Structure 1
Amino acid sequence: MPSVDAIWFASPLALLIGAFAIVMIAVRINQANGDLSRAGRSTRRLEDALIPVRLETRRARSSVDHLRRK
């Protein structure tokens, strides 16, 4: 009868272990999603900070191009 007891408890134990593994994977995915969204926000902040630099570069290039034509 010990084998029957082992089979009886093995199925719920396997389900619990599987459920725990799924929860851990879901937590990791949630953390990765948060990290990805934070990286996206910091990239947008960096791009927004570089807009004035790009505009100044265009103005300088435009004025240099103007000087060469004259």
Structure 2
Amino acid sequence: MPRPATGKTPVRNVRVGDEIWEQVERAADEDDTTASAIVKEALLEYVAKRAKQRARKARERAAREADPSS
């Protein structure tokens, strides 16, 4: 059965070592934000980076297929 709509983003669980988490908390304090906001931003940056990499690889593959002599 699906989770009922609450208007809130669902909580996700991840394991993060103490050393990394302490750095995230320090950065959050310095930037007057939350650790959650930093993690969300980092995930969005990662996903965007991966999408660009996949698109570049697809273009390279298409170019090779269009010109098999290269």
TM-score by structure 2 length?
Answer: 0.50
Count, aligned residues: 40
Gaps of 5+ in 1: 44-70
Larger relative CO (CA 8 A, sep 6+): 1 or 2? 2
Of the three residues 21, 24, 29, the one matched with 2:57 is 29
- Identify the structure with the greater helix proportion: 1
Q: What are the residue-to-residue correspondences of 1:36-47 with 2, within 5 Å?
A: 36-40=64-68, 43=69
The alignment partner of 1:37 has SS state of helix
Larger Rg: 1
Distance in 2, matches of 1:15 and 1:36, equals 32
Amino acid of the structure 1 residue aligned with 2:58: N
Cα RMSD, aligned residues only: 1.9
TM-score by structure 1 length?
Answer: 0.50
Gaps of 5+ in 2: 1-27
